[in-house]
A and B are shown apart, each in its own frame.
Chain A
Amino acid sequence: MKLTVDQLTAGYGKAQVLFGLTLEVAEGELVALLGANGAGKTTALRVLSGLIKPWGGQVALDGQSLLGLSAARRARLGLGHVPEGRQLFPLMSVEENLLLGAAFLAWESRAEGLERVYRLFPRLAERRRQLAGTLSGGEQQMLAIGRALMGRPRILMVDEPSLGLSPRLAEEVLATLAQVRAEGVGVLLVEQNVALSLEVADRGYVVEHGRVVLQGQAKELIQNQAVQKAYLAL
């Protein structure tokens, strides 16, 4: 499965944010979407998952256009989205949050999904009866990712998973995303922590003012002088 985004334009009210964004993510690869605050990364994810409507351009999953489909339809087609701010169900337990991630799947397949998530995040298994609102920031992030995985996405978009986490925890979360990629899921990772995300990513796109200004293999991007100067402070 492949997610393709072509010449996407979008904005809020009269303020345009995306100016022809073009990128693609295939199953089994981890792609980093890099850029400064306000470059349009989060807006891009929101358009892709159907939370806001684009002004123009194309979004397709395996050639099938997603435009006009509800967010729920896109999720059912295999496009997962771990949104900014985690958006958990605070008064539900860890396990209930996870089960809601599998709400549209056959109820029987949930045990399998739980097992997979608990294997990726053993910490969540320990806290399965605890209310989501009482988890630490790192655990909440794990839960948000785990909940999205319960829907068995083929492409998973993750918005700023390292935000508010200690460097060690951030590394742990990104390492888990690399593991998810190894299981065959395509991961589109939005991150401000450029050094850390290029370490785990296969490829990367650098976004400035709503369009891609630089793209390539993660190894090449780390060596790129412009990237080093702008984002890695080397």
Chain B
Amino acid sequence: MELLLQTLINGILAAGLYALVASGLALAVGVVGIVNFAHGEFSMIGAFVSYLLFVGAGIDPILSLGLAAVVLFVVGALTYYGLIRPVLAAPELNQMLLTFGLSVALQNLALLLFGADTRVLFTPYQGATLALGGVSFGLPPFAAFVLSVGLLVGLYAFLGRTRLGFAVRAVAQNRLAPGLLGIETQRIYLLAFGLSAALAGMAGVMLSVMLYTSPTVGFAYTLKAFAIIVMAGLGNLRGVIPAAIVLALAEALVSTYVPGGGGWVEAVFFLVIFLALTWRSWRTR
């Protein structure tokens, strides 16, 4: 019973970060209409920002969070301007090849600059644990969960309660009309893509503490984020949180109860995509 509880809590804690990464991807897919395979690489850049600031200037990752958001917003905006905008009207396959190429290029650029080592941050709170009843969990995953939830609340408030967020939702529902109503659609795309990258980047900062920093750290999160948004329905931001919880719980349960489960965890996202698509095709029949 205690093991189950512990497993569930681990799953829920992981779900926060998953939802954060996937919400960013959902913005890119739902608002800009671009399937961004380089989304996880934005997290990787965020992780390196955190790592370098910590090692180079002793800045705590919690403080790096804001800076990484700004850096990644700019990276996202430049990516949109230089790479995405020219292919917005191109066939989807071309767009996907472009973002896949960007993913490979960014990974290799990081490899070139920093090497393939996995780098671990040693913060004072690294090993701290919290105990609650019979279960205990690390402070970093708990903090990442709380921060992720906070950021998601902020994102939802922006989309739901501000005028700009209103325009962002409008563009997600119809690409033609907003321009005719005086809304500069290009700016909304730019904002949404920058925001998407900033969310991924902040998730990357958390990864640098909870996991490690390496050129390939983000790629697994691209795949997990895809599993989540496929489950939620492409571009459906509201479904992202429950879908993130499902994926994270599934991973936690597999890791605890399947013999040799640790090795299978990284395949759970694939099973989830498979089941979601199968279920959807049955339901709409």
Contact = CB atoms under 8 A, between A and B. Distances in A.
A83 B178 contact: no
A63 B258 CA distance: 74
A35 interface: no
Interface stretch (B164-172, B192-200, B274-282): B164-172
A103 B163 contact: yes
B167 A103 contact: yes
A121 interface: no
Contacts of A96: 166
Interface stretch (A8-16, A71-79, A169-177, A178-186): A71-79
A156 B167 CA distance: 22
A75 B183 CA distance: 9
Interface string B250-263: 00000000000000
Interface size class of B (residues with CB under 8 A): 10 to 19
A51 B89 CA distance: 13
B179 A103 contact: no
Nearest to B173: A89
Interface string B24-66: 0000000000000000000000000000000000000000000
Interface in A149-197: 150-151
A213 interface: no
Contact of A89 (B174, B179, B186): B174
A75 B174 contact: no
A165 to B, nearest CB: 20
Contacts of A54: none
A76 B184 CA distance: 10
Contact of A75 (B167, B170, B181, B186): B181
B176 interface: yes
Given A89-B170, A92-B169, A92-B170, A104 B182 contact: yes
Contact of A103 (B174, B182, B186): B182
Contacts of A91: 173
Interface of B: 163, 166-167, 169-170, 173-174, 176-186
Given A75-B182, A87-B174, 18 more contacts: A49-B180, A70-B184, A71-B180, A72-B185, A83-B176, A87-B176, A89-B169, A89-B170, A89-B173, A89-B174, A90-B173, A90-B174, A92-B170, A101-B181, A103-B167, A103-B183, A148-B180, A150-B181
